[in-house]
Amino acid sequence: MPAFLVLPALLGGSGCLLFTDPINKAPEVEIVTPGVEIVRGEKVPFWVTGGDDRDSFASLRIEWAEFPSQLEGCGWITKAEWETVKVTERDSSAPYELEVKTSATLCLCVRATDHDGARSQACERIEPVTKAPEAYLEDASGAQSGQARPLCSVFHLSAERSWFPEADQIEFNWSMNYTGTDPLGPGTQLVECAGIPTDKAPRHRCFYAAAPGVYTVTMSIEDQPAGVTGDPLASDPVEFEIPVNIDMPPSLQRTDPEIFAQGIMLDTTSGLGAPYPTRTFKVLSVADDCEPYPVPDNSGKKPTQFLWSIYDYDATRTTKIWVYQANTTDSFTISQAMFPNATKGDEIKVRVEVRDSNVVKHLVPGVGACSSDDIDICCGASGCTGADTDIIRWTTWTVYFGP
């Protein structure tokens, strides 16, 4: 056969062997760095970007992995190395949050795979920065440092918003200084707060202020980095100042009848054989720093003292006087039977005064809460202003016999 016929014969007999389909290329992938230093113990987001010749980038399989490294660069990471570490899959539009727990250098890598199995990777070498913890101290109630507070309050201070690596061995150092003249003040102690989980208990301290004065709480943090020997890293100390007021007198809040009621009618027209009409007066609540009423559950506080008195209505007396009653409970009931000489149109006055232990301790004979017993509602020497700051020491109701 002529030589010039051999090549066509071979091509015709074997079919077409030319490849005309495009070759699948591996995706292009790149890590978008946050542009900040990577601090050990802080979460930092990393993003991925790139493209593919046949698939949309959103449809690619995106995997992240962290590789411990003591080598230069990250070019040593192969497919085999990916089999030795934890791999985290993320959507291409979602960040990978890196939280470095040690000071060791690492490589953060991302791998993109298309539907044909072609893949590529990109890596960033991470050299973590170790910094000292940052102490932050606040009152759990929201009160600010320097804000005056009532005596006999329980204070809860929290360091929860401090910064430190959770993986490290952390020590919270607490101290308190008292400035004042009350001998009870220096003995005040910071203690663990009730109801706080054991693992978070060192971040909280509580105390009870039994003495007026200024309590200054100081807190600092020491951090022993995991796997690192040597002196611990220390935060700057922070202070929180709590001025505690002197003991304030108790104040009536709610009563029945209402504190400012003008007058109460006691009906004396009941028929023969009917029971004597009665009227009960009751204190519902008293505000006081150390002895409020009702007494809060499990507070250990003592109740306020109640002092009831009746203004003698008997016109036969040359001078009418306040007659104190034996009853010291939160309520007092009067009955027409208590006033056998009363007739229609007569009137009496019923008064309740509240006193706490400190008021009783400093009572001066002949000196009352107000300058005159003729004052029906006593708010102290300055009188009642109608403001929320009024301290109502006593209130008086006028009871009319009628109708």
Per residue in 87-142, pLDDT tens? 999 999 999 999 998 888 999 999 999 999 999 999 999 999 889 999 999 999 99
Residue reference for tokens 């606040």? 138
The pLDDT, as a whole number, for residue 210 is 94
Residue 133 lies in a domain: no
- Taking 70 as the threshold, does the pLDDT of residue 314 lie above it? no
Q: State pLDDT tens for residues 191-236.
A: 999 999 999 999 999 999 999 999 999 999 999 887 677 788 999 9
89 belongs to a structural domain: yes
Q: Do 108 and 151 belong to one domain? A: no
What was the pLDDT predicted at 212?
Answer: 97
Q: Are residue 38 and residue 176 in the same domain, yes or no?
A: no
Structurally, the chain folds into a number of domains equal to: 3
User: Considering Cα of 263, then 268, then 270, then 275, what sign does the dihedral take?
Assistant: positive
Q: Is the pLDDT of residue 363 over 90?
A: no
Indicate if the pLDDT at residue 312 is higher than 80. Answer: no
Are residues 294 and 163 part of one domain?
no
Q: Which of 74, 93, 126 is the last residue of a domain?
A: 126
The span from the CA of 109 to the CA of 123, in Å, is 4
Output DSSP code: residue 39.
B
Residue 264 has pLDDT above 70, yes or no: yes
Q: How far apart are CA 113 and CA 210, in angstroms?
A: 68
Mean predicted confidence (pLDDT) in 315-333:
84
353 vs 394: CA distance, rounded Å: 4
Using the predicted structure, report yes or no on whether residue 8 has a pLDDT greater than 60. no
Is 9 within the bounds of a domain? no
Is residue 289 domain-shared with residue 369, that is, in the same domain?
Answer: yes
Query: Which amino acid, one-letter code, is at 325?
Result: Q
Residue 338: the pLDDT is 85
The two three-digit tokens of residue 375, written as one number = 């004052």
Please indicate, yes or no, whether residues 189 and 61 belong to a single structural domain of this protein.
no
For residue 103, the model assigns a pLDDT of 84
Residues 35-72 have pLDDT tens digits of 999 998 899 999 999 999 888 999 999 999 999 987 88
Structure confidence at residue 300 (pLDDT) = 64
Q: What is the pLDDT of residue 224?
A: 87
In this model, does residue 272 exceed pLDDT 60?
no
- Judgement on whether residues 256 and 122 belong to the same structural domain of the protein: no
How far apart (Å, rounded) are the C-alpha atoms in residues 36 and 309? Answer: 75
Average of per-residue pLDDT across 66-91: 94
* Residue 262 pLDDT > 70: yes
Classify residue 15: in a domain, yes or no: no
Place of tokens 């009702």: 294
Within-domain flag for 384: yes
The domain in which residue 265 lies consists of 251-402
Task: pLDDT band for 12, please (50, 70, 90 cuts).
Answer: very low
Write down which residue in 188, 212, 244 finishes a domain: 244
- Count of helix runs (H) and strand runs (E) in the chain: 3, 22
Q: How confident is the model at residue 269 (pLDDT cuts 50, 70, 90)?
A: low
| Contact (Cβ atoms closer than 8 angstroms) between residue 175 and residue 135 | no
Q: Before 294, cis peptide (omega within 30)?
A: yes
- Note the helical H segments in 15-164: 79-82
- Mean pLDDT on 277-305: 86
- Provide the pLDDT for residue 235: 96
Of the residues 73, 106, 126, which one is the last residue of a structural domain? 126
Provide the strand spans (E) within 142-268: 154-158, 169-179, 204-208, 213-224, 233-234, 238-244, 251-256, 264-267
What is the rounded CA–CA span in Å between residue 283 and residue 304?
11
- Predicted pLDDT at 22: 66
Mean pLDDT calculated for residue range 273-298: 85
CA-based max dimension of the chain? 160
Give the Cα separation of 292 and 260 in Å (integer). 21
For residue 120, the domain's CATH number is 2.60.40.1930
Judge whether 11 lies within some domain.
no
pLDDT above 70 covers a percentage of the chain that reads 89
Q: Which amino acid is at 354?
A: V
Q: Which of 17-26, 73-82, 146-155 has the lowest mean pLDDT?
A: 17-26
**Is-above-0.85 flag for pTM?**
no
Please report which residue ranges of 257-386 form alpha helices under DSSP H.
357-361
Q: Are 93 and 142 in a shared domain?
A: no
Mean pLDDT of the chain: 88
Q: How confident is the model at residue 81 (pLDDT cuts 50, 70, 90)?
A: very high
Q: How distant, in Å, are the alpha carbons of 15, 220, 292 from that of 157?
A: 86, 13, 24
Question: SS3 of 120, please?
Answer: strand
